[in-house]
Amino acid sequence: MKNEIYKLNEFKNIKSVFEKNGGGTPQYRNLKISLEHYENIINSLFNITKTFDDFANSFLELPITCDFSKLLGKGHRFKRFFKNVVKNPLKQIDSKYVFNYDNTLEDAIKITYLVDKTAIEKTITHIKIVIKFFNNNEATITKIDSILKSSSGVSEKDKEIEKILESDDVYYESRTKTIIKDILLDMMHLTKISIYQTNKELITKGDFFVRFNSILDYEKINKIFKSENIEINEDVYVSKKDLILNLDELQLEKIIQEFPFLINTATKNKITYNKDFDNEQNPNEALNNEMIKQQIENAFKNKEIPNFQIGVIDSYACIEDPWTKLIESENTPLPSNEQKDWNHGTMVSTLIAGNDAFNNKKYKDGLGFFKVKHFGILPQGTMEMSYFIKTTEEIIINNPNIKLWNLSVFDASTPLKRNLSISEMGKQLDRIQKENGVLIIIAAGNNNVVSYGSDSILALTVGSIFKDEKNNNKESHYTGKMKVFGLFSKPNSYDFGNSLQENENLNDTVWTLGESGYINYHEDGTSISAPLLTRKCAHLIKKYGFNINSLKAYVNLEHELNIKNGKTNPINCNIEDGEGVITLFYDGQIKPGKKIVEKFYLPFKNTQNGKKYRNFLVATSISYTTNTNVFVGDEYSSCDISIALISSVSVTEKGLPKIKRKNVLNPKEPKKKDKAEIDPMGQLEQINKNLVEDFKKYNPNKVLIDFKIQDKIDEYFVKTFNTIENVVDMEISCLDLFNHPEPVNFGVVIKLFEIEKDSLINFSKENVQILNIERERVKIKA
């Protein structure tokens, strides 16, 4: 069977369902109810009320940081603490993961809530009720203590404690018993409470990119500053809505001194972008511009060039004929910097527009020409991060028809040293992508560690590879790498970018076009890798009809398949080439609390004993434009979208046969001793399963792959499977930590791999109702 690709029709069956939010059941440590601990928390809260008195004229609410000894999902958070009305959700404005010395996540978290004084006083009263209960009901407390130390989930603990409190020997009214139960659960992992404190070590020489905690809006904060004689000009604000602005060290010190809880982050505002590369001209390789001009004219005549533009934000560019037919260029020199880099922007723009015009056969991708709109804003040397972010956002907003953007730029002076939280630039690039519905493809950086901005979770971050003497693709030594929050792996794609320290044969390099019009090479650079992936992404949009999120899901899946097979290859952008693989993709929109369901017919084969087995493997990828919110801190995104394949499965319980609905995309890795009994549709590895199960951390780029997809597939996968029918429901569900009502855009990619030849040959016939059979540019057969 030749490879096939299908774009799914619109899903019709959208169900409104109630979903439980949050992560899985936590594993509880040995806990013991401590009267001293409860009294310490009361003392902390009492001291906080004094702080409210100190700022009563300016702030009715203050940020309160709670330290927890466990990474908690929504279902395990405060039920009663800080709530004037129990049903009202708390306003979370920050969170911080706790990292060990080796940069791995510790099982702990700090969460900051915006709370008023009345709520603090009410919480003190409630804790005092529990302390009184301690003193009068020692035997009952011993029972409750054993429940809190058990491994059961919070809802189970809730019910068990409620039963104890309802027993005859405990004499409290019903409302008081509920308060006691809620406070006991709220205190279960709480270790400390304090007013949020800005890190004073932030104050050094220079200017800063500052973000305030979300306590008051711009108008109210500005009014308070005036009353305290703190002069902040309106033009220093990068975003009044998000309370982001530029401050010098004197302004920063003054604000921290007067309001030690107001500033959330302060980052050095001066950044150094990549300077001119040490390019070398090859006089024998001047371009035949007349030939390229004819090629471009023929491509336009034959309608081979997509009618959409690719956006490029880079240094200045020198675009001359014949490239002006493809590249529209706007240079906006930075007035404060007279050093101009005309080479880098030229290189990136022409590489995206026409790589095949000046590269040899080894690096021709055969994708033809593309239209580019280039914006030259970067100088050679330093600039302000605030200027870059503000200008980038304005450019993207003013060009709403451009959905694909290339940023082969990074802060060369400030690589991210540790696998910790995302950088401020990364956060802002995520926000810009979400608010404008665009995808940014960004270079990983050349400092071994991912640079500022390249850690954007929603972006495709591109690392560099080169061909060694045996023509194998290998990762370049300089490629930026990291795990954002210690969890999200970057880069999430690779393409060619040279590495002359490892490969000195200049005939094996990717060539680029410089401002002089000659073909150049340069030593190292993820700046080359990003444009080459950008070309492939534009091709996938043009040829197959991918949208932003399904495109990202496809690239993530291809990358993870390569990694699983021990390879660092560029993505495959000619999906129909080859045999034995079916690719399905879908772009949609879903609201939190909703579920989308679509039926598939999967070709399970019958055995002589009536069971079914499958002779194909499965890999899935889902990507969504998350509701990023810089004010929820390291938790970052409150939204989670998941995919499951649900089938009716025959099981035996207590010796009796039963039919159950089972997720056949179970990611658990089989144990060796259980291989013979393991359901083969359950042999899936979820690349970042700990994000949801262990850390309650949502991942907008989920990939699930059959446990052992390799180049050579052995018979181990052809196992019996107790399904009772060939029908599988694909379920896509959406949860949200804070119950946002806004719909979320997502994309899904599913790949089916044949184990036996032609085992999927009837797939399109069996699934004709959900496949877009009529669209020939989407349904491709080699």
* Residue 1 lies inside a defined structural domain of this protein: no
Confidence of residue 32 (pLDDT cuts 50, 70, 90): low
Let me know whether 704 and 661 are in one domain.
yes
Decide which of 63 and 688 is more confident: 63
**For residues 468-490, average pLDDT:** 83
**pLDDT > 70 fraction of the chain, expressed in percent and rounded:** 74
Let me know whether 178 and 137 are in one domain.
yes
**Model pLDDT, residue 625:** 84
**Number of domains within the chain:** 4
C-alpha neighbours within 13 Å on the C-beta side of residue 485: 23
Q: How far is CA 441 from the centre of its chain?
A: 14
Let me know whether 209 and 118 are in one domain.
no
What DSSP element (H or E) covers 227?
helix 218-227
Q: Are strands 493-496 and 460-467 parallel, antiparallel or unpaired?
A: parallel
Q: Looking at the predicted structure, is the pLDDT value of residue 449 above 90?
A: no
Instruction: Find out whether 743 and 591 touch, Cβ atoms under 8 Å.
Output: yes
Let me know whether 641 and 677 are in one domain.
yes
Tell me, what amino acid is at 220?
K
Q: Looking at the predicted structure, is the pLDDT value of residue 554 above 60?
A: yes
**Model pLDDT, residue 385:** 84
Long-range contacts made by residues 140-145, C-beta under 8 angstroms, separation at least 24?
140/164, 140/165, 140/167, 140/169, 140/170, 141/33, 144/33, 144/184, 145/31, 145/32, 145/33
Closest to 265 (Cα-Cα) out of 214, 226, 315, 213? 213
Q: Looking at the predicted structure, is the pLDDT value of residue 22 above 80?
A: no
* Residue 637 lies inside a defined structural domain of this protein: yes
| Highest mean pLDDT out of 21-30, 179-188, 580-589, 600-609 | 580-589
| Residue in the structure block whose two tokens are 């772009």 | 587
| Residue in the structure block whose two tokens are 């019958």 | 606
* Residue 448 lies inside a defined structural domain of this protein: yes
Rounded-to-integer distance, Cα 696 and Cα 675, Å: 29
Decide which of 124 and 85 is more confident: 124
Let me know whether 384 and 268 are in one domain.
no
Phi, psi of 100 (to 5 degrees): -80, 175
Let me know whether 747 and 633 are in one domain.
yes
Please, which residues have CB within 8 angstroms of residue 4's CB and are 6 or more apart in sequence? 576, 581, 582, 583, 763, 764, 779, 780, 781
The CATH number assigned to the domain holding 366 equals: 3.40.50.200
| DSSP code per residue over 172-220 | --HHHHHHHHHHHHHTSSEEEEEE----GGG--SSEEEEEE-TTS-HHH
- pTM here is 0.84
**For residues 599-617, average pLDDT:** 72
Rounded-to-integer distance, Cα 425 and Cα 385, Å: 8
What DSSP element (H or E) covers 120?
helix 117-136
Q: Looking at the predicted structure, is the pLDDT value of residue 26 above 50?
A: no
Give the domain extent around 95.
Answer: 35-195
| Residue where a domain stops, chosen among 209, 238, 272 | 272
Q: Looking at the predicted structure, is the pLDDT value of residue 450 above 80?
A: yes
Q: Looking at the predicted structure, is the pLDDT value of residue 285 above 60?
A: no
pLDDT digit string, tens, across residues 366-413: 999 999 999 998 877 777 888 888 899 999 999 999 999 999 876 655
Instruction: Find out whether 688 and 98 touch, Cβ atoms under 8 Å.
Output: no
Let me know whether 253 and 131 are in one domain.
no
Let me know whether 413 and 507 are in one domain.
yes
* Residue 59 lies inside a defined structural domain of this protein: yes
Let me know whether 532 and 598 are in one domain.
no
Angle between helix 526-544 and 548-564 (nearest 10): 120
Rounded-to-integer distance, Cα 169 and Cα 138, Å: 12
Decide which of 460 and 21 is more confident: 460
**pLDDT > 90 fraction of the chain, expressed in percent and rounded:** 26
Tell me, what amino acid is at 313?
I
**For residues 433-443, average pLDDT:** 94
Q: Looking at the predicted structure, is the pLDDT value of residue 19 above 50?
A: no
Give the mean pLDDT of the chain. Answer: 78
| Residue in the structure block whose two tokens are 């929109």 | 589
| Residue in the structure block whose two tokens are 């240094």 | 315
**Model pLDDT, residue 498:** 77
* Residue 97 lies inside a defined structural domain of this protein: yes
Instruction: State the Rg of the chain over Cα.
Output: 29
Q: Which residues pair with 162 in a beta bridge?
A: none
| Residue in the structure block whose two tokens are 């997509």 | 306
Helices (H), 613-678: none
Rounded-to-integer distance, Cα 505 and Cα 509, Å: 7
| Residue where a domain stops, chosen among 195, 226, 242 | 195
pLDDT digit string, tens, across residues 589-602: 998 888 888 888 87
**For residues 338-343, average pLDDT:** 74
pLDDT digit string, tens, across residues 231-266: 888 888 888 888 888 888 888 889 999 999 999 888
Let me know whether 367 and 446 are in one domain.
yes
* Residue 11 lies inside a defined structural domain of this protein: no
Let me know whether 108 and 231 are in one domain.
no
Q: Between the CA of residue 352 and those of 186, 327, 649, what are the distances in Å?
A: 55, 10, 50
The CATH number assigned to the domain holding 217 equals: 3.30.70
What DSSP element (H or E) covers 561?
helix 548-564
Phi, psi of 60 (to 5 degrees): -85, -20
Rounded-to-integer distance, Cα 484 and Cα 426, Å: 10
pLDDT digit string, tens, across residues 622-647: 999 876 665 677 777 777 888 887 77
**Model pLDDT, residue 333:** 63
Q: Report the first-to-last Cα separation within the chain, whole angstroms.
A: 10
Q: Looking at the predicted structure, is the pLDDT value of residue 448 above 60?
A: yes
* Residue 367 lies inside a defined structural domain of this protein: yes
* Residue 26 lies inside a defined structural domain of this protein: no
| Residue where a domain stops, chosen among 195, 230, 256 | 195
Let me know whether 191 and 45 are in one domain.
yes
